[in-house]
């Protein structure tokens, strides 16, 4: 098991490791079709191992974190860092642990990692009607920049 990045009560955050495909699958199996649509902007009723592998097997330009409630995987967040010093956020949390601070804890941990890498900005795309993400983004200090074709852009300066 990888080094724990952050812990609060039963919740812990750690880096994604090469053997975590089963944990990623567990998280996606506990999300709804709507949850996955909010994450990918398209319907994904099933994600096979080949599709899930991108969340486990990635290069140095990506930071991936998993959240656990005890030993149960309950969420994950990734940041894809570009050549301009900005990172795009992706986050998903199992439906049974929503509103418990899992997403917030994941993203706060991700922000620590990105600042340590001297990343200048975090941005995220969310459906314009995704009120839960908009509230989370505001809580993190992100600002809503624009909405195009129903997709809102959120940004946070890290430097």
pLDDT in tens, 93-145: 887 867 778 989 999 999 999 999 999 999 998 878 788 889 999 999 999 99
Average pLDDT, the chain: 83
Decide the pairing of beta strands 121-127 and 86-93.
parallel
Q: How confident is the model at residue 35 (pLDDT cuts 50, 70, 90)?
A: low
- Rounded to whole angstroms, the Cα distance separating 91 from 66 reads 10
- Rounded to whole angstroms, the Cα distance separating 63 from 97 reads 23
Q: Which residue has the tokens 């899992």?
A: 102
Spans of all domains in the chain: 4-123
The reported pLDDT for the residue numbered 112 is: 95
Q: In angstroms, how far is CA 31 from the centroid of its own chain? A: 14
Residue 1: pLDDT over 50: no
Using a pLDDT cut of 70, give the percent of the chain over it: 80
pTM, rounded to two decimals = 0.82
Distant-in-sequence, close-in-space partners of 64: CB < 8 Å, separation ≥ 6 = 15, 16, 55, 56, 58, 76, 77, 78
CATH of 4-123, one of 3.50.50.60, 2.60.40.10, 3.40.50.450, 3.40.630.30: 3.40.630.30
The reported pLDDT for the residue numbered 95 is: 74
**Beta strand ranges found along 1-142 (DSSP E):** 4-8, 11-15, 62-69, 72-81, 86-93, 121-127
- Paired strand residues for 88: 80, 123
The reported pLDDT for the residue numbered 153 is: 93
The reported pLDDT for the residue numbered 46 is: 67
Distant-in-sequence, close-in-space partners of 157: CB < 8 Å, separation ≥ 6 = 120, 121
């Amino acid at each position: 098991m990888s080094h724990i990045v952050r812990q609060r009560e039963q919740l812990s955050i750690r880096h994604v490791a090469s053997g975590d495909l089963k944990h990623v699958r567990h998280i996606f199996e506990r999300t709804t079709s709507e949850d996955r649509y909010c994450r990918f902007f398209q319907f994904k009723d099933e994600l096979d191992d080949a599709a899930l592998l991108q969340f486990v097997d990635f290069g140095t330009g990506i930071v991936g974190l998993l959240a656990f409630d005890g030993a149960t995987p309950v969420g994950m967040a990734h940041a894809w860092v570009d050549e301009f010093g900005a990172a795009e956020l992706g986050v998903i949390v199992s439906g049974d642990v929503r509103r418990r601070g899992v997403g917030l804890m994941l993203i706060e941990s991700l922000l620590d990692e990105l600042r340590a890498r001297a990343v200048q900005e975090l941005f995220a795309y969310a459906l314009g009607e995704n009120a839960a993400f908009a509230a989370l983004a505001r809580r993190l200090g992100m600002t809503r920049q624009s909405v195009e074709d129903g997709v809102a852009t959120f940004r946070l300066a890290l430097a």
